[in-house]
Structure 1
């Protein structure tokens, strides 16, 4: 089933109320309007994820919990405003992995591929692959450059560390973190029956970027 306006409305009201009892009384709305469409999208994406990388784990358990971690409740808010899922290889404790992700919140929604926080050795592998002209890295950059769906995200260094490289390479090399992200607040897209098909098509198109990250990960594994 597609998302409806009830999904962002519920997330907004639940976050604003910050009331555990209200959430319990309205949990069926959360299940129907948020969780079921999320699960159906994961199910739809599973064959594609298996084609891109058989190690990627696709499961409803990859949907984030709506309750905040008690360690992060310094503001007194019990609930998260955003709900997302992250599809990735089995994750080691406290070690970020490249992932395909999708999120919704009361203000916007979006999807993408990349890191929450790329480990320094993996980032160095990515940079080396780019500067050495590795075919996987060049294909990823060419794929990104010719599309208009995703924006490259990640904090940039204040100083250009690779002045001799082409500008499109610098866009990757001078970042502390890497992800390609599509963000929207267009209700015609969000509430469309074709949303999951669009997400799948975009993930398939940008897959070479994931392949670059996965290869950089594997290089680090082989070192160890």
Structure 2
């Protein structure tokens, strides 16, 4: 089922009230208006994820919890303002993995591909691939530049560290945590019945970016394994 205006409205009111009793009394609305559409989108994306990487886990359990981690509550806010899901391989060596993600909030929605926090060894490996014009790196950047829906983001350095590189490469090289994403506050997109198709189409377009990140991560893991033998 598509999202309705009740989804962002619920997230806003629940966050603003910050009242556990109110949430429990309105949990049915949360499940119907937020959880069901999120889980249905995961189900819709599952075949595509399997084609991109059959190790990606697509499960309804991938939807984030609305309650914040009690260990991180210092401001008295019990609930998250946004809800998201992240589709990735099972976590192994690195806490953070390359992922396809989607979120909604009272203000916007969005999706993309990247890391929550790319491990330093993986960052360096991705940069090496770009500098060496590895086929996976060129394919990923070509895929990004061939579309106009998602933008490149992710903590750029203040100083250009690669002044002699072409712009198409330095845009990636000069970021601590490169990620491609789309965000929107367009209600026609948010509440339209074509949202799942749009997200799937964008994920398919940027699959080479995911493949570059996975190649880098797998290479780092193989090197570490070799060192421990």
Kindly indicate whether the alpha-carbon contact (under 8 Å) linking 2:102 and 2:109 is maintained by their aligned counterparts in 1. yes
Q: Which residue matches 1:73?
A: 73
Provide the secondary structure at the position in 2 that maps to 1:85.
Answer: strand
Q: Which residue matches 1:145?
A: 145
Provide the secondary structure at the position in 2 that maps to 1:89.
Answer: coil
Structure 1 residue runs of 5 or longer lacking an equivalent are: none
After superposition, what is the alpha-carbon deviation per residue over 1:109-137, rounded to whole angstroms, capped at 9, x for unaligned? 00000011100000000000001010010
Kindly indicate whether the alpha-carbon contact (under 8 Å) linking 2:112 and 2:203 is maintained by their aligned counterparts in 1. yes
Kindly indicate whether the alpha-carbon contact (under 8 Å) linking 2:66 and 2:79 is maintained by their aligned counterparts in 1. yes
The runs of 4+ residues in structure 1 deviating greater than 2 Å are none
After superposition, what is the alpha-carbon deviation per residue over 1:47-79, rounded to whole angstroms, capped at 9, x for unaligned? 000000011010011100000001111110000
Provide the secondary structure at the position in 2 that maps to 1:21.
Answer: helix
2:196 aligned with 1:199: no
Q: Distance in 2 between matches of 1:199 and 1:26?
A: 29
After superposition, what is the alpha-carbon deviation per residue over 1:66-100, rounded to whole angstroms, capped at 9, x for unaligned? 00001111110000000000000101386210000
What TM-score, normalized to structure 2? 0.96
Q: Distance in 2 between matches of 1:156 and 1:201?
A: 27
Q: Which residue matches 2:13?
A: 13
C-alpha deviation, 1:148, in angstroms = 0.7
Q: Which residue matches 2:212?
A: 212
RMSD over aligned CA atoms reads 0.9
Q: Distance in 1 between matches of 2:12 and 2:121?
A: 39
Q: Which residue matches 1:120?
A: 120
Kindly indicate whether the alpha-carbon contact (under 8 Å) linking 2:94 and 2:119 is maintained by their aligned counterparts in 1. no
Provide the secondary structure at the position in 1 that maps to 2:206.
Answer: helix
Q: Distance in 2 between matches of 1:54 and 1:146?
A: 25
Q: Which residue matches 2:227?
A: none
Q: Which residue matches 2:55?
A: 55
Structure 2 residue runs of 5 or longer lacking an equivalent are: 225-229
Kindly indicate whether the alpha-carbon contact (under 8 Å) linking 2:110 and 2:183 is maintained by their aligned counterparts in 1. yes
Q: Which residue matches 1:177?
A: 177
